[in-house]
Amino acid sequence: MTPNGGHRAERGDGEGGRRGPIAALGEIIRLRGLKRSRQRDVIARTFFEMEGHVPVEALAARVRRLDPRISVATVYRTMKLLSDGGLAVPRQFGDGQTRYEAVTRRHAGTHDHLICTSCGAITEFESQRIAELQLRVARRHGFEVDRRHVELYGRCAGCRRSPGKREPAA
């Protein structure tokens, strides 16, 4: 657990014998016939230590502070591996920037987002009622849901109080 209450990536087995994301990445690399590298491990550990919706550019900057020899292209390729392997979810929030969210987070597959169009802040929320309503609507139309996601765009409380436009969140 991080100081903010977020979850850190596990290096080995997690609770209940489940593998941590670094071990899972190692298995994905092995299954694809790729070589495990120190650079990929640094990128993955750094990503799983970051919280929230991580822009690739922010991850690359942090990784390059740790090791300037790691290229931005290696960061992108590693994030693709994490995404393809089901360890990270790419998110687009209408600003043209891809952010990644770790699926090891407490509610990574079952939460939705409030996105401030003024400052760019992203707030996560969960609502069982919304999920149930979506499933009812889908059933009524004979639709089988594979995954669900809600994004609500508007202005956060801070931006509504402030007369000027605030700086976008990083």
Question: In this structure, what CATH number is given to the domain that contains residue 32?
Answer: 1.10.10.10
In a domain, 2, yes or no: no
Report the predicted TM-score, pTM, of the whole model to 2 decimal places. Answer: 0.59
Same-domain check for residues 28 and 70: yes
Of 118, 1, 3, 6, nearest to 54 by C-alpha is 6
In a domain, 117, yes or no: yes
Same-domain check for residues 58 and 96: yes
pLDDT tier at 60, thresholds 50, 70, 90: very high
Same-domain check for residues 97 and 29: yes
Same-domain check for residues 33 and 65: yes
25 neighbors 87 (Cβ within 8 angstroms): yes
Tell me the two tokens of residue 92: 């687009």
pLDDT tier at 17, thresholds 50, 70, 90: very low
Query: How many domains are there within the chain?
Result: 2
Same-domain check for residues 60 and 78: yes
In a domain, 8, yes or no: no
Report the range out of 21-30, 128-137, 161-170 with the highest average pLDDT.
Answer: 128-137
Same-domain check for residues 95 and 154: no
- What is the distance between the alpha carbons of residues 106 and 144, in angstroms, rounded to a whole number? 25
Of 126, 132, 122, nearest to 100 by C-alpha is 122
Q: Which of 102, 132, 149 is at the close of a domain?
A: 102
Q: pLDDT at position 105, please?
A: 52
Q: What is the 3-state secondary structure (H, E, C) of 13-49?
A: ECHHHCECHHHHHHHHHHHCCCCCCHHHHHHHHHHHH
CATH number of the domain encompassing residue 157: 3.30.1490.190
Same-domain check for residues 50 and 75: yes
In a domain, 121, yes or no: yes
Query: Domain containing 69: what range?
Result: 15-102
In a domain, 9, yes or no: no
Q: pLDDT at position 104, please?
A: 64
Q: Which of 78, 102, 126 is at the close of a domain?
A: 102
Q: What is the pLDDT averaged over residues 81-93?
A: 84
